[in-house]
Structure 1
Amino acid sequence: MTIQVTVNEKGRMSLPKDLRDRMGLVNGGVIYLDETSDGLVIRTPAQAVARAQALARKYTGSNPESSVDAFLARRREDSGE
């Protein structure tokens, strides 16, 4: 779906209410903009986290040594804690 929005002279744009409602965006909410070769991608925080997790899985697979807990345990071990 493509939605046209207008950027005002202060660089602000308004997202249509039905889109904000569907995305769970409320007044003062946060969105993330990713600049890609195709343009801008807008993501909610939940979508940004899910994307980061998918990328982490892509590069670490199911390797248990790549978890945050495993990393912290190795750091503690290396530092003698």
Structure 2
Amino acid sequence: MTPNGRMSLPIGIRKRLGLEAGGAVLVEETADGVVLRTVGQAVAKAQAIAKRYAQQPDASVDAFLAARREDSGE
């Protein structure tokens, strides 16, 4: 990590993830550390969460948000 907070990912990881110079990644802080996700991975995760909650008997927006807050520990 550089003094200004920039990090470099090894070329092998960048190639496997399809990241190019200046590519966007999302950073998620967890209890176990930090998770980096590509935008595509983050979208897929959000879609999976939405699909899981859409199958619930009470699939209202308010119920979704309340369950999501509970899942994230907020």
Please state if 1:31 is matched with 2:25. yes
Greater radius of gyration (CA): 1
Moved over 3 A (4+): none
> Partner amino acid for 1:53?
Q
TM-score when normalising by structure 2? 0.71
Among all aligned residue pairs of Structure 1 and Structure 2, give the percentage whose two residues are the same amino acid.
49
Using CA pairs below 8 Å that are at least 6 residues apart, which structure has the higher relative contact order?
2
> In the TM superposition, what are the counterparts of 1:1-81 in structure 2 within 5 Å?
7-61=1-55
Residue-pair matches, total: 59
**Normalization by structure 1: what TM-score?**
0.65
Secondary structure of 1:11's counterpart equals coil
C-alpha separation between the residues in 2 aligned to 1:24 and 1:47? Answer: 11
Structure 1 spans left out of the alignment, 5+ residues: 1-6, 67-81
C-alpha RMSD of the superposition: 1.9
Letter of the 2:49 partner, please give it: L
SS at match of 1:12: coil
